[in-house]
Structure 1
């Protein structure tokens, strides 16, 4: 997990929250400062190949524009009142069930690790939208150990409506897949109906 850093909007660290790991290798940062009345600010930092950093910024306050705007409402519908923490992969799976066209659009635009290793993916967008919801107090999140082979035991975010839910109450990726009779790894069934993003070489 990355250390605290200055907000890319207000250039201060006083209201920076604990960073969250995105499943595609990025680190999501949230600043809860008012920013002159515009509200919280969420941005993702990706490690670059040549020891530089690529920073993608999206304002948490944006609801009618921006790349993650169409994810906010569907994501708010994947949680149940009184339900357990959901490991990130379960959140993605529920999003795909409830808003298949939105999920497919983001996979086609940004790619997904189910098609091979990559970064700046649809998963990163989903994690960023979740962080925007967290900044508004709509969901809670914490970072814990992943259970599925796609994430190879790395830490991953977990999400819930109620942050007071005991962290022992988790619906893990493995439990979710077992309930569906599926393996822990991505399958052709997972990839069916999705179009991987075109790979661009060079900048």
Structure 2
């Protein structure tokens, strides 16, 4: 579906939407003739009935890419997701509200397992990141093993686990009430 600006009635300068909690979408037109113009709408208002939403992970590529630092060893998936939540809280909350999260109980196809994981896989196929499987720790240990991510394969193949990262931060490696704070599930 093509979205047009309500001010200039053109789609040429409309940027991809920013997803906000409560299924809101924030659009911005950067047309130089009228200056920046922002408006809000709902996901349902811009989606045709029965339409499959394509490209749902597009908006996650750049933010997730910024959650793996140059010089990091392979970092456990939970670290990447924690950084996403800290650096892009509205985006994280919107995806959890749409798809759920394992911190609210066992459930298939959560934001973590589907959307965030798919976007990370796309970044790997684009040559931005590399991954390998390793042991799942802390709140993620129910998986048995998870992916570890880096910009480039560390020469010593070193890893930092979620449990180690949490110890460095002085927080529990299990889900806490603070982790659930401000989030809701579908």
Q: TM-score, normalised by structure 1?
A: 0.62
- Which is richer in helix? 2
Do the aligned residues in 1 keep the contact of 2:73 with 2:154 (CA within 8 Å)?
A: no
Shift, 1:128, TM fit: 0.6
Residue 78 to residue 114, structure 1, CA distance change in 2 (3 Å): same
- Give the corresponding residue for 2:24: none
Shift, 1:195, TM fit: 1.0
- Give the corresponding residue for 2:91: 102
Do the aligned residues in 2 keep the contact of 1:143 with 1:157 (CA within 8 Å)?
A: yes
SS at match of 2:146: strand
Q: Does 1:152 align with 2:156?
A: no
Question: Which deviations, in whole Å up to 9, do the C-alpha atoms of 1:99-142 show, x marking residues without a partner?
Answer: 11111110000000000000111102101100000001010001
SS at match of 1:152: helix
Distance (whole Å) between structure 1 residues aligned to residue 130 and residue 173 of structure 2? 25
Q: What RMSD, in angstroms, separates the aligned Cα atoms of the two structures?
A: 1.9
Shift, 1:153, TM fit: 6.2
Distance (whole Å) between structure 2 residues aligned to residue 166 and residue 153 of structure 1? 25
| Higher deviation after alignment, 106-115 or 177-186 | 177-186
- Give the corresponding residue for 2:104: 115
Residue 165 to residue 122, structure 1, CA distance change in 2 (3 Å): farther
Gaps of 5+ in 2: 1-51
Residue 165 to residue 101, structure 1, CA distance change in 2 (3 Å): farther
Gaps of 5+ in 1: 1-56, 59-64, 198-203
Greater C-alpha radius of gyration: 2
Distance (whole Å) between structure 2 residues aligned to residue 159 and residue 165 of structure 1? 14
Which 4+ runs in 1 deviate beyond 4 A?
A: none
Do the aligned residues in 2 keep the contact of 1:84 with 1:165 (CA within 8 Å)?
A: no
The total of aligned residue pairs comes to: 134
Do the aligned residues in 1 keep the contact of 2:74 with 2:159 (CA within 8 Å)?
A: yes
- Give the corresponding residue for 1:87: 76
- Give the corresponding residue for 1:177: 166
Distance (whole Å) between structure 1 residues aligned to residue 155 and residue 99 of structure 2? 33
Do the aligned residues in 2 keep the contact of 1:85 with 1:165 (CA within 8 Å)?
A: no
Shift, 1:89, TM fit: 0.4
